[in-house]
């Protein structure tokens, strides 16, 4: 019931690297088995992760200009109104949740993950990740007790400047909305269509199908499966952590938290070995109600890079923005094989 459809295009050039003899180059177009949206594998090997040493950014001058460093976080960041959260900020261990001064939505908060200005991937350990996600979930629950009008919960993360993150001090976006964005909406609608057509949860089917095929199945933990995406959204691929039996914020328990942090830490170990130091992430919860049947909790993690460190061009260009067509320069299947060593 899950089809992985591909189409190969080919073009011929006279190749200057081989005395202008004819050379045929192939591009693979793939179609997402849930949404039908296309993406392509092209430009193989032409983009490599660029590793930047950002420890040099951790200076007193940079910290003094950072709103999330102490003491600025208490003086220049906004506070929640007392009817929502007496005290203004939600504290959990070393993390705190604050309102976004430039909100995207009705409830648009930030989890400041650490008091440290720079937290390299090596230090995004399981305890650090658990504390951050726990703080975000506490905020979700806090709002859910007071306001049920906004059913969609997402945690988004821009880590380091290639991802579009404007501040290097690590922080996650904690968003509660009735307008959850195109990707979320399309994913939810297509999951519902699949459920109505086949009577099954697509996410459970995807995990078991990928496990049997052994092409993009990185590994599993007790309650989650981890995959490389068949149609990645990023030039350096995309990774999925799927929790088939978990749906809403109300199902997100200690085991789920532990596995989410554990899976991410393994992925980050791979990133470190591959020279990747920036990513976008989305963690998508189902809304309470009917969608619980067909939409499982899932995380999508997309590595990002500058194309080079001289001009620092973005890895998002007209293909992705104007044509709305993601392209990837690696093979998800080869990347999966590499990742298995970290599982
Ligand atoms: Zn800072």
In tens, the pLDDT along 242-252 reads 999 999 999 99
Residue 54: the pLDDT is 83
**79 CA distance to ligand 1 centroid (A)?**
18
Alpha-carbon span 279 to 161, nearest angstrom: 9
Is there a contact between 242 and 206 (Cβ–Cβ < 8 Å)?
Answer: yes
Question: Does the pLDDT at position 104 exceed 90?
Answer: no
Tell me whether the omega of the peptide bond preceding residue 275 falls within 30 degrees of 0, making it cis. Answer: no
Question: Does the pLDDT at position 262 exceed 90?
Answer: yes
Residue 296: the pLDDT is 98
**252 CA distance to ligand 1 centroid (A)?**
30
Q: What pLDDT band is residue 45 in, cutting at 50, 70 and 90? A: confident
- The domain segmentation of the chain, as residue ranges, is 1-343
Alpha-carbon span 104 to 118, nearest angstrom: 25
Mean pLDDT of 258-274: 97
State the pTM of this model: 0.96
Angle at 166 between CA 44 and CA 332, to 5 degrees: 25
- Structure tokens, 167: 């501040």
Q: Three-state SS for 263?
A: helix
Residue 4 CB contacts under 8 Å (≥ 6 apart), including other chains: 30, 33, 230
Alpha-carbon span 197 to 173, nearest angstrom: 34
**68 CA distance to ligand 1 centroid (A)?**
5
Residue 179 CB contacts under 8 Å (≥ 6 apart), including other chains: 105, 152
Residue 41: the pLDDT is 96
- Ion ligand 1 neighbours (CB, 5 A) are 66, 68-69, 117, 169
Alpha-carbon span 343 to 325, nearest angstrom: 31
In tens, the pLDDT along 143-166 reads 999 998 999 999 999 999 999 998
Residue 51: the pLDDT is 86
**55 CA distance to ligand 1 centroid (A)?**
13
Backbone φ/ψ region at 265: left (φ over 0), alpha (ψ -120 to 50), beta: alpha
Residue 52: the pLDDT is 85
**What's the distance, Cα to Cα, between the start and end of the chain in Å?**
28
**70 CA distance to ligand 1 centroid (A)?**
8
Mean pLDDT of 93-111: 94
Residue 166: the pLDDT is 87
Residue 172: the pLDDT is 98
DSSP code per residue over 176-207: EESS--HHHHHHHHHHHHHHHHHSS-HHHHHH
CATH numeric code, 1-343: 3.30.428.10
Q: What pLDDT band is residue 127 in, cutting at 50, 70 and 90? A: very high
């Amino acid at each position: 019931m899950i089809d992985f459809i591909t189409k190969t295009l080919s073009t011929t050039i006279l190749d200057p690297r081989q005395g202008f003899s004819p050379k045929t180059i192939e591009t693979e177009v793939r179609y997402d088995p849930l949404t039908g949206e296309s993406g392509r594998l092209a430009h193989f090997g032409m983009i490599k992760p660029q590793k930047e040493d950002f420890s040099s950014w951790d200076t007193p001058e940079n910290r003094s200009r950072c709103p999330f460093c102490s003491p600025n976080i208490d003086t220049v960041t906004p506070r929640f109104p007392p009817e929502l959260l007496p005290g203004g900020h939600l504290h959990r261990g070393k993390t705190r949740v604050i309102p976004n001064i430039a909100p995207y939505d009705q409830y648009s908060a930030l989890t400041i993950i650490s008091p440290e200005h720079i937290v390299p991937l090596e230090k995004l350990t399981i305890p650090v990740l658990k504390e951050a996600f726990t703080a975000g979930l506490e905020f979700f629950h806090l709002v859910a007790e007071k306001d049920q009008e906004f059913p969609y919960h997402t945690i988004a993360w821009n880590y380091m400047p290639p991802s579009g993150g404007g501040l290097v001090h690590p922080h996650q976006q904690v968003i509660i909305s009735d307008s959850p964005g195109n990707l979320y909406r399309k994913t939810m609608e297509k999951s519902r269509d699949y459920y109505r057509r086949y009577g099954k949860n697509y996410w459970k089917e995807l995990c078991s199908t990928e496990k049997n095929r052994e092409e993009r199945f990185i590994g599993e933990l007790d309650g989650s499966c981890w995959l490389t995406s068949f149609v990645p959204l990023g030039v350096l691929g995309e990774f999925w952590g799927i929790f088939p039996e978990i749906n809403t914020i109300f199902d997100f328990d200690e085991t789920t938290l532990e596995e989410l942090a554990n899976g991410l830490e393994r992925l980050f170990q791979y990133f470190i070995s591959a020279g990747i130091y920036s990513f976008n992430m989305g963690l998508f919860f189902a809304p309470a109600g009917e969608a619980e049947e067909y939409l499982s909790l899932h995380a999508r993690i997309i590595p990002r890079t500058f194309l080079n460190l001289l001009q620092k061009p973005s890895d998002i260009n007209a293909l992705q923005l104007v044509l709305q067509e993601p392209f990837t320069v690696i093979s998800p299947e080869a990347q999966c094989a590499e990742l298995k060593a970290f599982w």
